[in-house]
Homo-oligomer: A and B are copies of this chain.
Amino acid sequence: MRVALVGFGAVGRGFADAVLGGAVDVDVVLVADSSSVAVDNDGLDLESVKERKEKQGVVGEGEDVQGALEDADYDVLVEASPTTLGDAQPAFGYMVTAMENGAHVVTSNKGPVAMRYGELMEAADEAGVEVRMEGTVGGAIPTINTVRESLAGDEVTSARGILNGTCNFILTRMLEEGLTYEHVLGEAQDMGIAEADPTFDVEGIDTALKCVILSNVLFEGERTLDDVDVTGITEVTPDSLRLARESGHVVKLVGEVSEESLSVAPRLVPEGHALDVSGTLNVVSFEADLAGEVTVTGHGAGSSETASALVSDVAAIARKE
């Protein structure tokens, strides 16, 4: 199978490393980052692409990513560029181009599937291809595919989860050390766990996007970020965490998804409960009519972890080809 890989940051390089490590047997014929592109229909040498990116800051000689996606010959687009909101461009356009070119889409980019899910599914239907998105929610944890495949016969009525490792790390440290939000945020930034501009994570937007995606998969709806009632963790105090603990609870940034509503907010969770995971771990609990509650826990971010999800989606497509 031939793969076009768009996005060559941590996740894209993680995917390239997984291919180099033999995780899945594909030829990568196109690699693009935000401003450069390399194409070889006989298969690129990924080690050279990595080296060029490291030394010269580009992946190849080309500059027209869109044109390359129109012309190249590939079976699957792996879209691993950073999430953009609003019209979710340029990723949305890349995906549509790939589908018009007859290719399936596998993505870790939350933008297109959270902001323009309906249009994307319509384009996939018309082209007769699949859009798979395991890497968008919960990193290495099987979430989307747990719903679609492992619970294929179940009606999944709701999902609750901790879907942002940065927030969970901050809340865990604040509780353990009795430190303020500002102090721990600084610490997390020093450790590379929080971004220099942490808004996207700490205001709950990242969690909200993941809730939108889960909702669209569970209820075949077309919800977007506007449908989520969002509160972040910036107002959480060490005192409130201590009070919660005195009553046997921890405070977690919980995303809740049901057919009626979507919300993200700091919630009390009983200590020892399935959602009581620490540090940067993520967790999702699904409520299903036959299976009851099914919970999946693991690493919600990271280069090789997100690559694991991308590879499993590519492998799922390969099994059907």
Q: State whether A292 touches B288 (Cβ < 8 A).
A: no
Q: Name the residue among A291, A295, A297 with the largest chain B CB count within 10 angstroms.
A: A291
Q: State whether B274 touches A312 (Cβ < 8 A).
A: no
Q: State whether A153 touches B24 (Cβ < 8 A).
A: yes
Also in contact, A297 and B276, with CB within 8 A (given A23-B154, A153-B23, A312-B153): no
Q: State whether A290 touches B23 (Cβ < 8 A).
A: yes
Q: State whether B272 touches A291 (Cβ < 8 A).
A: no
Q: How far is the CB of A282 from chain B (nearest CB, A)?
A: 11
Contacts of A312 in B (CB 8 A): 149-154
Identical subunits present: 2
Q: State whether B293 touches A295 (Cβ < 8 A).
A: no
Q: Once bound together, how far apart are the Cα atoms of A298 and B297, in whole Å?
A: 12
- Determine if A315 is an interface residue (Cβ-Cβ < 8 Å): yes
Q: Once bound together, how far apart are the Cα atoms of A150 and B143, in whole Å?
A: 9
- Determine if A112 is an interface residue (Cβ-Cβ < 8 Å): no
Contacts beyond the supplied A153-B308, A291-B308: 7 A-B pairs with Cβ under 8 Å = A24-B152, A142-B146, A272-B272, A288-B308, A290-B311, A294-B296, A320-B320
Q: State whether A295 touches B294 (Cβ < 8 A).
A: no
- Determine if A73 is an interface residue (Cβ-Cβ < 8 Å): no
Q: Which of B145, B149, B298 is the one whose CB lies under 8 Å from A291?
A: B298
Q: How far is the CB of A104 from chain B (nearest CB, A)?
A: 15
Q: Once bound together, how far apart are the Cα atoms of A146 and B134, in whole Å?
A: 13
Contacts of A293 in B (CB 8 A): 298-299
Q: Which of B134, B153, B295 is the one whose CB lies under 8 Å from A315?
A: B153
Contacts of A23 in B (CB 8 A): 153-154, 290
Ordered by A's residue number, 15 sampled pairs between the chains whose C-beta atoms are within 8 Å are A18-B290, A141-B291, A141-B294, A150-B312, A152-B315, A153-B311, A153-B312, A153-B314, A153-B315, A154-B312, A288-B308, A291-B298, A291-B308, A295-B297, A296-B297
- Determine if A316 is an interface residue (Cβ-Cβ < 8 Å): yes
Also in contact, A151 and B308, with CB within 8 A (given A146-B142, A271-B272, A297-B297): yes
- Determine if A264 is an interface residue (Cβ-Cβ < 8 Å): no
- Determine if A6 is an interface residue (Cβ-Cβ < 8 Å): no
Closest to A312 in B: B152
**Interface code A283-321, partner B: CB below 8 Å = 1, 0 otherwise?**
000001111111111110010110111011011100010
- Determine if A114 is an interface residue (Cβ-Cβ < 8 Å): no
Q: Once bound together, how far apart are the Cα atoms of A85 and B38, in whole Å?
A: 57
